[in-house]
């Protein structure tokens, strides 16, 4: 008997729901309990919930339907065509990593390398451009994004020595709904915020400063990577502020384009009456951040609620979405450029 080639089996095509992967972080809190349908584990501060991850150390699992229990990576390997459509063959793994963050206290001051800075990327890793959508803003809310104009490497190095890094950082107080774009090479941090994060599928972070924090689990401070961070900073990039969304549709539903770059696209959609989501021939990801509703495709109905993340395989195409009240979705696209 020959060994069966499972790649020849037809893929069951439907919206794929994925289970979140909660991560302890010393700067985290417990506010993600208000976003996720499943309870948070334990009593520790949870800083991140990885919503869609194709990484060996944290592999997202399908949580619904006939493909339940499969990892995202397994689906891409077995059915690249139905999953990715015209993008099949472009990626060794799913190119985006999606998260909810609860920064109860301020994250470390950090920077990520770009795709071009190969000397600072471990084998198989990409650079890390990312973006945030603010979901909840507390009274001490803060975003640090970029350096103050004229700041040099020497200035920043001295500020690290003097433990006055914040003096060199541009900052602002965001509000719920703001979108913030963080290109690779941008020094950044945030605090007292709950945000959705989309990023390149990379886990490379270099810390400049961690505010003197001691991790209660280890009794020690977290390591810094000052030299690598300084080498990866784009000192020509000035301060970053909230982006201005582009309204694409305002009749029936409000559809705003918040980010569209070479690494990802992100739209926010708010409405009730039937509207379209997804795209023909390419995958899309939906993240429900408020309300609940249903997706419909070829007469089959799929529920979607607050905190759910659904991957629409390319073979599924366009779906109709509606809500008995109102629903707010983030819809994400993959890079399509050469």
pLDDT tens-digit series, residues 186-240? 999 999 999 999 999 999 999 999 999 999 889 999 999 999 999 999 999 889 9
Q: Are residues 185 and 274 in the same domain?
A: no
Q: Which of 180, 203, 232 is the last residue of a domain?
A: 232
With respect to residue 211, please indicate whether it lies within any of the assigned structural domains: yes
Q: Are residues 116 and 227 in the same domain?
A: yes
Local structure of 173: helix, strand or coil = coil
Q: Are residues 196 and 284 in the same domain?
A: no
Structure tokens at 137: 């803003």
pLDDT in tens, 49-62: 999 999 999 999 99
Structure tokens at 104: 């109860």
Q: Are residues 159 and 308 in the same domain?
A: no
What is the H or E stretch that residue 207 is in? Answer: strand 206-209
Q: How many CB atoms lie within 10 A of CB 178?
A: 22
Q: Are residues 165 and 20 in the same domain?
A: yes
With 0-12 / 13-18 / 19 or more C-beta atoms within 10 angstroms meaning exposed / middle / buried, residue 132 is buried
Q: Residue 1 pLDDT more than 50?
A: no
How many independent structural domains does the chain possess?
2
With respect to residue 241, please indicate whether it lies within any of the assigned structural domains: no
With respect to residue 1, please indicate whether it lies within any of the assigned structural domains: no
pLDDT value at residue 238: 87
Q: Are residues 280 and 146 in the same domain?
A: no
Instruction: For the chain, state the CA radius of gyration.
Output: 20
Q: Are residues 104 and 178 in the same domain?
A: yes
Q: Are residues 228 and 144 in the same domain?
A: yes
Residue 277 sits in a domain whose CATH number is 2.60.120.10
- Candidates 280, 281, 282, 291; CA nearest to 330 is 291
Q: Are residues 206 and 250 in the same domain?
A: no
Segments forming the whole domain that contains residue 285: 246-333
With respect to residue 49, please indicate whether it lies within any of the assigned structural domains: yes
């Amino acid at each position: 008997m020959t060994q069966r080639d499972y790649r020849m089996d037809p893929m069951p095509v439907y919206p794929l729901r994925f289970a979140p992967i909660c991560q302890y972080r010393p700067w985290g809190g417990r506010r993600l309990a208000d976003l996720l349908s499943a309870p948070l584990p334990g009593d520790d501060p949870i800083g991140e919930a990885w919503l869609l991850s194709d990484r060996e150390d944290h592999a997202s699992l399908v949580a619904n339907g006939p493909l339940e229990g499969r990892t995202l990576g397994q689906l891409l390997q077995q059915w690249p065509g139905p999953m990715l459509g015209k993008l099949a063959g472009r990626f060794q793994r799913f190119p985006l990593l999606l998260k909810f963050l609860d920064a109860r206290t301020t994250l470390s001051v950090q920077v990520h390398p770009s795709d071009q800075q190969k000397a600072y990327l471990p084998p198989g890793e990409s650079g890390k451009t990312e973006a945030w959508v603010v979901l909840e803003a507390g009274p001490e809310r803060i975003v640090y994004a970029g350096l103050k104009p004229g700041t040099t490497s020497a200035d920043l190095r001295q500020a690290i020595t003097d433990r006055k890094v914040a003096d060199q950082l541009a900052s602002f107080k965001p509000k719920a709904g703001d979108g913030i774009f963080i290109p690779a090479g941008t020094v950044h941090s945030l605090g007292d915020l709950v945000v959705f994060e989309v990023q390149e599928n990379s886990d490379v972070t270099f810390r400049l400063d961690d505010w003197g924090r001691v991790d209660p689990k280890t009794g020690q401070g977290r390591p810094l990577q000052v030299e690598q961070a300084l080498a990866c900073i784009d000192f020509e990039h000035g301060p970053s502020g909230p982006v201005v969304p582009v309204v694409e549709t305002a009749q029936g539903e409000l559809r705003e384009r918040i980010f569209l770059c070479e690494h990802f696209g992100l739209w926010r959609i708010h409405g009730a009456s039937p509207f379209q989501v997804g795209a023909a021939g390419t995958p899309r990801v939906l993240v429900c951040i408020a309300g609940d509703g249903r997706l419909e495709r070829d007469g089959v109905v799929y529920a979607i609620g607050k905190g759910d993340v659904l991957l629409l395989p390319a073979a599924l195409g366009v779906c109709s979405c509606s809500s008995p009240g109102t629903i707010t979705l983030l819809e994400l696209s993959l890079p399509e450029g050469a």
